[in-house]
């Protein structure tokens, strides 16, 4: 573990402001066929800041932003960052009642949308909670077990992240970064906010067309980005569209979910000149580990500079090879959830008191091989018993994803009057695929033990339902709520 120095810039907002002053004519954003310069984006942010200032809010009082990703939404968030005002940025896909609760819980004085738009929810201002003084953004977890948790991210932590990410992936003037994830995702810390602070060009993918493989391929061809970070489904959509040969891309980062073998096999044809890496992280910690993808299974990686990673089994740190829960402490992490009552079992000191760092317990079971490499084993809360046989639903999902026509998969345990529990699965098949339940069941028979074969298989042509942070919502399959950490792992 190598310690990280203090960030070179005071904040990402300061970095953006410096780019706008020094390079006003340089491209900052691409949206559809329109390029927006740093000067133009700065003017948009200034107009939004004037609107926020006109509300007469006390310093440090947060505001809620409810908006889909767009240049106007980026400008609105920048306005909050430049004003040193915390911005709560939840998923617009959340129910109105959940959004209202989150905005109220964060003590937001108001909810705003980009100029010319009216937010679909409003709140009555309430006393704001004890928000850490350095808070810049307030993100949320998925809410897979109930109300999403609010995760405050400090300006210094975000700046330290940018200090690592920009040189690691060559982000700066004259460089383009593709932004696929919605604006409320932690992936945007690299794709959008680091890129703008470093003077790069952000190619925004319209969320309304993010599941269209042909459109994604055209965006890549037209804008020739150098850096691409996305979940495996993005790459599967490109392959299903018959795309490939994107030779401008130098860095590809897999993140967010397990990567099927057939997707890995197709990556060299998609990006023939790119260095392929896997990134592991959580909303609570941001990126934590990284590895080059050069073999299968994929290692979740080595700790980034300044990151401490432990395997803990029954309160003891695993030394050498072995399996345990992954605990991480990063220079980029939150100090804790806004609602401190939800810290239980998540944030803790070193299990043996060896240092005074604060660790996040990921809930992921990880194995360290004799060569020191780390591999994801699974999660304890994905373990169920079907007819007395232990089954890991994540492993069943992985088997389903290995079929070349499956883009997404979700598996849940549902009550059964005879067996106690049975497995239900839903998959999103590739466009144009003729995959049916008979073919998919045959695939399961070849790859899974009998108890792990889902009793029901639902095949859909549309993307599966998602949580607030874009994870496949397993509860929508009909299963019991399961505790999922907001992690990025392949």
Please report the domains of the chain, with CATH numbers, ordered by start residue. Answer: 12-206 (3.40.50.12780), 303-378 (2.30.38.10), 387-482 (3.30.300.30)
Residues 386-399, mean pLDDT to the nearest whole number:
81
pLDDT of residue 482: 36
pLDDT band for position 418 (cuts 50, 70, 90)? low
Helix (H, G, I), strand (E, B) or coil at 100: helix
- pLDDT at residue 7 tops 50: yes
pLDDT band for position 486 (cuts 50, 70, 90)? very low
pLDDT band for position 483 (cuts 50, 70, 90)? very low
- pLDDT at residue 485 tops 80: no
- pLDDT at residue 433 tops 90: yes
Which residue has 């990006």 as its token pair?
A: 271
- pLDDT at residue 242 tops 90: yes
- Can you list the alpha helix ranges (DSSP code H) found in 296-427? 393-401
pLDDT of residue 457: 94
Positive or negative torsion for Cα 466, 472, 475, 481: negative
For 472, which DSSP code? B
Q: What is the tens place of the pLDDT at every residue in 12-58?
A: 999 999 999 999 999 999 999 999 999 999 999 999 999 999 999 99
Give the mean pLDDT of the chain.
90
pLDDT of residue 10: 72
8 A C-beta contact, residue 452 and residue 397: no
| Percent of the chain whose predicted confidence (pLDDT) is above 90 | 72
Interatomic CA distance for residues 279 and 299, integer angstroms: 10
The region, left, alpha or beta by phi > 0 then psi within -120 to 50, assigned to residue 99 is alpha
pLDDT of residue 84: 94
- pLDDT at residue 95 tops 50: yes
Residue 138 parent element (H or E): strand 135-140
Interatomic CA distance for residues 328 and 338, integer angstroms: 19
Nearest residue to 489 via CA among 412, 402, 419, 398: 398
Residues 313-323, mean pLDDT to the nearest whole number:
92
pLDDT of residue 1: 52
- Can you list the alpha helix ranges (DSSP code H) found in 208-362? 213-223, 232-240, 261-270
- Chain centroid to Cα 222, Å, comes to 25
Residues 189-209, mean pLDDT to the nearest whole number:
97
Residues 245-250, mean pLDDT to the nearest whole number:
98
- pLDDT at residue 328 tops 90: yes
Residues 240-253, mean pLDDT to the nearest whole number:
96
The region, left, alpha or beta by phi > 0 then psi within -120 to 50, assigned to residue 170 is left
- Pick the range with the lowest mean pLDDT from 229-238, 381-390, 426-435: 381-390
403 upstream amide cis, omega within 30 of 0: no
| Percent of the chain whose predicted confidence (pLDDT) is above 70 | 93
Residues 303-326, mean pLDDT to the nearest whole number:
94
- pLDDT at residue 92 tops 80: yes
288-294: Cβ within 8 A, 24+ apart? 288/328, 288/330, 289/328, 289/374, 291/373, 293/254, 293/264, 293/267, 293/490
Is the model more confident about 345 or about 275?
275
pLDDT of residue 488: 39
pLDDT of residue 479: 44
pLDDT band for position 490 (cuts 50, 70, 90)? very low
pLDDT band for position 2 (cuts 50, 70, 90)? low
Interatomic CA distance for residues 76 and 121, integer angstroms: 17
For 343, which DSSP code? -
pTM reported for the whole predicted model: 0.84
- pLDDT at residue 4 tops 70: no
- pLDDT at residue 179 tops 80: yes
Cα 230–Cα 163–Cα 137 angle in degrees, nearest 5? 65
pLDDT band for position 478 (cuts 50, 70, 90)? low
Strand blocks (E) in 141-240: 150-154, 176-179, 201-204, 227-230
Half-sphere exposure of 10 (CA within 13 A, CB side): 7
Radius of gyration over every alpha carbon of the chain, rounded to an integer in angstroms: 22
8 A C-beta contact, residue 116 and residue 136: no
Q: What is the tens place of the pLDDT at every residue in 455-475?
A: 999 999 999 998 877 788 887
pLDDT of residue 489: 38
String of b and e for 177-205 (b: at least 16 CB within 10 Å)? bbbbbbbbbbbbbbbbbbbbbbbbbbbbb
């Amino acid at each position: 573990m190598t310690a990280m120095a203090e960030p070179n810039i005071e904040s990402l907002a300061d970095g953006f402001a410096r780019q706008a002053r020094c390079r006003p004519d340089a491209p900052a954003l691409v949206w559809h066929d329109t390029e927006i310069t740093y000067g133009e984006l700065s003017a948009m942010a200034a107009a939004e800041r004037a609107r926020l200032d006109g509300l007469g809010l006390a310093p440090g009082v947060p505001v809620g932003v409810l908006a889909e990703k767009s240049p106007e939404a980026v400008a609105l968030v920048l306005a909050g960052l430049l004003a040193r005002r915390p911005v709560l940025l939840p998923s617009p896909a959340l129910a109105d009642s959940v959004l209202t609760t989150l905005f109220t819980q964060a003590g937001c004085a108001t909810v705003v949308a980009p100029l010319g738009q009216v937010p679909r929810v409003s709140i009555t201002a309430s006393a704001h909670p004890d928000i850490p003084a350095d808070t810049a953004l307030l993100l949320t977890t998925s809410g897979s077990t109930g109300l999403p948790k609010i995760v405050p991210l400090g300006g210094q932590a975000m700046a330290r992240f940018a200090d690592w990410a920009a040189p690691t992936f060559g982000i700066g003037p004259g460089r383009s970064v593709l932004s696929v994830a919605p604006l409320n995702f932690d992936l945007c810390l690299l794709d959008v906010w680091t890129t703008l602070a470093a003077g790069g060009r952000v190619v925004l993918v319209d969320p309304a067309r993010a599941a269209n493989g042909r459109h994604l391929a055209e965006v890549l061809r037209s804008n020739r980005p150098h850096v691409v970070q996305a979940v495996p489904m993005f790459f599967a959509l490109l392959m299903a569209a018959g795309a490939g040969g994107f030779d401008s891309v130098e860095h590809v980062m897999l993140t967010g979910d397990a990567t099927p073998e057939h997707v890995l096999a197709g990556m060299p044809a998609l990006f023939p000149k790119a260095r392929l890496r896997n990134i592991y992280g959580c909303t609570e910690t941001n990126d934590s580990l990284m590895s080059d993808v050069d073999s299968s299974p994929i290692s979740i990686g080595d700790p980034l500079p300044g990151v401490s990673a432990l395997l803990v089994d029954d309160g003891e740190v695993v030394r050498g090879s072995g399996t345990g829960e992954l605990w991480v402490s990063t220079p980029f992490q939150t100090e804790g959830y806004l609602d401190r009552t939800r810290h239980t079992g998540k944030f803790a000191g070193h299990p043996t008191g060896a240092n005074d760092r604060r660790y996040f317990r990921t809930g992921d079971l990880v194995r360290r091989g004799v060569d020191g490499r780390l591999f994801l084993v699974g999660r304890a809360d994905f373990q169920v018993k079907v007819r007395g046989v232990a089954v890991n639903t994540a492993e069943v999902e992985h088997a389903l994803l290995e079929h070349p026509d499956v883009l997404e998969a979700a598996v849940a345990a549902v009550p059964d009057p005879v067996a106690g529990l049975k497995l239900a699965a839903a998959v999103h098949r590739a466009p144009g695929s003729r995959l049916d339940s008979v073919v998919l069941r045959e695939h399961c028979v070849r790859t899974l033990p009998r108890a792990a074969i889902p009793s029901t298989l639902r095949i859909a042509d549309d993307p599966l339902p998602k949580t607030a942070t874009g994870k496949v919502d397993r509860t929508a399959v009909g299963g019991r709520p399961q505790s999922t950490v907001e992690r990025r792992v392949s």
